[in-house]
Amino acid sequence: MVGGTVDDSEKDHGMSQSLRRGLALLTELADGPRNLDQLAEAVGVHKSTVMRLLRSLEADRFVKRSDVYRYRLGSALFELANRALDGIDVRDTARSHLLELGESTGHTVHLAVREDDQVVYVDKVDSTHAVRMYSRIGARAPLHCTAVGKVLLSGLDESARGEVAAALDYPALTDNTITDPERFLDELDRVSRSGYAVDRGEHEDFVHCIAAGVRDPRGEIVAAVSLSAPKVLFDFDELLGSTGELSRVCDRVSVELGWQSPDS
């Protein structure tokens, strides 16, 4: 002490030590509820110290008492986790993979996300072929007639899919556009089973497209990657041959975002 006050370095040391102990408690509780004795032993401090830390954590909802002496993780921790997941930038994570996919296939690559009843294209890699599609980052398209839109909806549960399908307008942009909610729901079922979606001239009659989904750590489809090609250069079966490569790229992006494959 200097002049009756605690030196700043001593304060910092005390705060740092309390922070480390508090984080150790949260890590221990991540494995399940614990009582006071178990937490004191895990952290290696006296029960009175653990009790003081728990009271602070409980006040901010980071821990919750399930009974008088038993504790578990609180709601604030899950709120922080969800906010962190929402803040993940899919575009930055996917960029290098989109470039590799574009180089290996030669096709136009898009990354899209859902916004209400539309898809928004948030990234693009141009085709290497002489005939190219016109599209731009920031452009929007309907959900019902795009491969990316179908993929994004296929990740919803059956009830949510039904609500979205019932609310869409279904403008017929080409002769191939699906304009019926029941047919659209059947298509989403197929996409959910197969893991990829197709657009056979449904959005623009001169373009074929295939798409697959990108998942977040919770396993939810948060984005879709597509390959598009003009019909004058490639028939649909040729484009469909790239489905496996497309799905593998989406899986790699998903893993970088924190998703764990059921097969891993």
Q: Do residues 88 and 113 touch, judged by C-beta distance below 8 A? A: no
Edge-to-edge strand list for the sheet holding 34-35: 34-35, 70-73, 63-65
Residues 54 and 131 in one domain: no
Q: Given a cut of 80, is residue 13 above it in pLDDT?
A: no
Domain count, the chain: 2
Mean pLDDT of 250-256: 95
The pLDDT assigned to 171 comes to 94
Is 7 domain-assigned? Answer: no
Decide if 217 contacts 257 (C-beta within 8 A): yes
Q: 3-state class of 138 per DSSP?
A: coil
**Domain extent at residue 30:** 17-84
Please give the C-alpha separations between residue 211 and each of 41, 102, 214, in angstroms, as whole numbers: 52, 13, 10
Q: What is the structure's pLDDT at 1?
A: 45
The mean pLDDT value of the chain amounts to 88
| 57 and 73 together in one domain | yes
Same domain, 116 and 235: yes
Residue 147 forms part of a structural domain:
yes
Q: Is residue 5 part of a domain?
A: no
End-to-end, the C-alpha distance of the chain in Å comes to 55
Claim to verify: residue 74 and residue 165 sit in the same structural domain: no
DSSP 180-246: -HHHHHHHHHHHHHHSEEEEESSSSTTEEEEEEEEE-TTS-EEEEEEEEEETTT--HHHHHTTHHHH
Residue 146, domain member (yes or no): yes
What is the structure's pLDDT at 243?
A: 95
pLDDT tens string 102-137: 999 999 999 999 988 999 998 999 887 765 566 788
Q: What confidence category does residue 199 fall into, taking pLDDT thresholds of 50, 70 and 90?
A: very high
pLDDT tens track for 28-66: 888 889 998 999 998 898 989 989 999 999 898 889 987
Cα-based distances in Å from 153 to 58, 92, 118, 145, 230: 39, 23, 11, 12, 25
Residue 185 within a domain: yes
Q: Is the pLDDT of residue 2 over 50?
A: no
Out of 84, 104, 139, pick the residue that ends a domain. Answer: 84
Residue 263 forms part of a structural domain: no
Among 40, 68, 84, give the residue marking a domain's end: 84
Per-residue pLDDT band at 86 (split at 50, 70, 90): low
pTM: 0.68
Clarify whether residues 164 and 243 are in a common domain.
yes
Which of 29, 50, 84 delimits the end of a domain? 84
Report the distance separating Cα 188 and Cα 207, nearest Å: 20
